[in-house]
Amino acid sequence: MAGTPAHRTRVPRAEREAQMLEVAEEVFVARGIQAATMDEIAERVGVTKPLIYDYFGSKEGLLAASIEKGRRQLLGLIIDTWSEQPDLGVRDRLRAVVLAFFAFIDEHERMFALLRTEGALIGPPAESVERIRQQTAKAFAEGLRSLPTFAQLPAGTVTGMAELLIGACERLAVERVMTPGLTADDAADLVMTTMWDGLGSIASDVR
């Protein structure tokens, strides 16, 4: 009927937040952190800028939430991959997790580019992202401790192993971006070849 005002469909908060994070990821990677503006993000999402501030508090808050999203996806991937491989030997099970990490990076290049900017965060946003990274290391460590090969090792030793594995994977992932050519399988093999002898030798001491 003529003159009847159009009704706007209310988007659920979770769905709207997911839209904002998706667009923010695109803009942050395309423009760079400093050049990205909340105005452009709001325009692309189709909302007002104050609404984004209401959700995330600031541009840095939005950046932190975008990085947290990627970190949480990686955390879930590690947990799922580990639990889905109960019948594999220790080395093959660990390799499956490492391979899943590199496959995730290949499938989410934009997300990985954003993860590499997390050093720009300070204060509470940086602490929030670091907590998720620590949860990822904890998941790695708990996976290792669930295996008889590593169960007798001190908790600190296993946590240190997990941190070394994550650090090796993340640095090699950056190197793959800088000098393409290494496949996800190749990268997983390289990590395991470099790291496994050390892990295996420590574990063998307590058998």
User: What was the pLDDT predicted at 206?
Assistant: 45
d(CA 13, CA 18): 9
Q: What are the pLDDT digits (tens) for 45-83?
A: 999 999 999 999 999 999 999 999 988 998 898 889 988
SS3 for 46-74 is CCCHHHHHHHHCCHHHHHHHHHHHHHHHH
Which numeric CATH code is attached to 11-57? 1.10.10.60
Mean pLDDT, residues 120-136 taken together: 82
User: What was the pLDDT predicted at 186?
Assistant: 93
What's the length of the chain? 207
User: What was the pLDDT predicted at 50?
Assistant: 95
The chain-wide mean pLDDT, for the chain, equals 85
Residue 62, number of CB atoms within 10 A of its CB: 25
**Residues contacting residue 29 through CB under 8 Å, at least 6 positions apart:** 110, 113, 114
Domain spans of the chain? Answer: 11-57, 70-204
Which numeric CATH code is attached to 70-204? 1.10.357.10
User: What was the pLDDT predicted at 119?
Assistant: 78
- Does this chain's domain 11-57 share its CATH topology with 70-204? no
SS3 for the chain is CCCCCCCCCCCCHHHHHHHHHHHHHHHHHHHCCCCCCHHHHHHHHCCCHHHHHHHHCCHHHHHHHHHHHHHHHHHHHHHHHHHCCCCCCHHHHHHHHHHHHHHHHHHCHHHHHHHCCHHHCCHHHHHHHHHHHHHHHHHHHHHHHCCHHHHCCCHHHHHHHHHHHHHHHHHHHHHHHHCCCCCHHHHHHHHHHHHHHHHHHHHHCCC
Q: How far is CA 189 from CA 26, 46, 131, in A?
A: 31, 45, 28
pTM, rounded to two decimals:
0.80
